[in-house]
Amino acid sequence: MGLTLGRDGETITAMLQSPLIQDGGNGTSSRNTRLVKYRIATDPPTLLEQYVVQLPSYTKDDVENVAVQNAILQVTDTQYLMLTTDEGAGAGLRDKTSAHRRIEIFDLAEATKLAPETQARGPTIANPDTGVLNEGIQAGESCKPWLDINDAKELAKFGLYNGNVAGAGLLNEKWEGLAAVPVNDGNDGEYFLFVSSDNGFRTRTGMRPHLLLPTSAARLTDMRYSAPERRPERLRGGRGWRVGLVQSVPSVSGQAA
| Res 145: pLDDT | 74
Non-local CB neighbours of 154 within 8 Å, separated by 6+ positions: none
pLDDT score, position 119: 65
Residues 132 and 192 in one domain: yes
Answer yes or no: do 156 and 208 share one domain.
no
Give the torsion through C-alpha atoms of 127, 128, 130, 134, to 10 deg.
20
Average of per-residue pLDDT across 50-59: 92
Q: pLDDT by residue (tens digit) across 6-15?
A: 988 999 999 9
The predicted pLDDT at position 235 comes to 47
What is the predicted pLDDT for the residue at 10? Answer: 93
Average pLDDT over residues 132-159: 90
120 lies in the same domain as 164: yes
Mean pLDDT of 19-42: 83
**Per-residue pLDDT band at 143 (split at 50, 70, 90):** confident
The whole-number pLDDT of residue 71 equals: 95
For the chain, the average pLDDT equals 78
Residues 144, 249, single domain; the answer is no
* pLDDT of the residue at 155: 94
Return all residues near 9 (Cβ < 8 A) that are at least 6 apart.
none
pLDDT at 27: 60
Domain boundary among 197, 212, 237: 197
- How far apart CA 182 and CA 210 sit, in angstroms, is 36
Domain coverage including residue 20: 2-197
Q: Which conformational region is residue 238 in: left (phi greater than 0), alpha (psi within -120 to 50 degrees), or beta? A: left
Number of structural domains, the chain?
A: 2
The Cα 202–Cα 195 span in angstroms is: 20
- Which residues are CB-neighbours of 66 under 8 A, at least 6 positions away? 18, 19, 29, 30, 31, 55, 56, 57
**Residue range 221-234: average pLDDT?**
41
Alpha helices in the chain (DSSP H): 152-156
Residue 139 has pLDDT above 60, yes or no: yes
Whole-model pTM?
Answer: 0.74
Contact 33, 15 (CB under 8 A): yes
